[in-house]
A = this chain, B = another copy of it.
């Protein structure tokens, strides 16, 4: 199953720089593990802002929750998770042309 996450990270504007750096490093390390585990499938930053769109995959809703909740930034996140299915246009394309060009 695929899910779209729209996440805004609200670190306090005056957070201690060393704490912020350590937290950020931990966030990235965990993100790498989630890519490897096949849960985090894509992530893009919204231009100019502190938010991002990411595509997640999980076999169960429990797996998805554990994956997102394991991110060190999670207590500072405002997030919206949306379950996705194939759009009929996707099906029509694949029926007629095979797989989509790689993204």
Question: Which of B28, B49, B65 is in CB contact (< 8 Å) with A45?
Answer: B65
Q: Are B100 and A35 in contact (CB under 8 A)?
A: yes
The answer, among B40, B64, B75, B103, for a CB contact under 8 Å with A55, is: B103
Copies in the complex: 10
Interface size on A, residues (CB 8 A): 59
A11 at the interface (CB under 8 A from B): yes
Q: Are A32 and B92 in contact (CB under 8 A)?
A: yes
A28 touching B88 by the CB < 8 A rule? yes
B residues near A82, Cβ cutoff 8 Å = 46-47, 53
Expressed in whole angstroms, the Cα–Cα distance for A5 and B36 within the complex equals 27
Residues of B within 8 A of A75 (CB): 11, 13-14
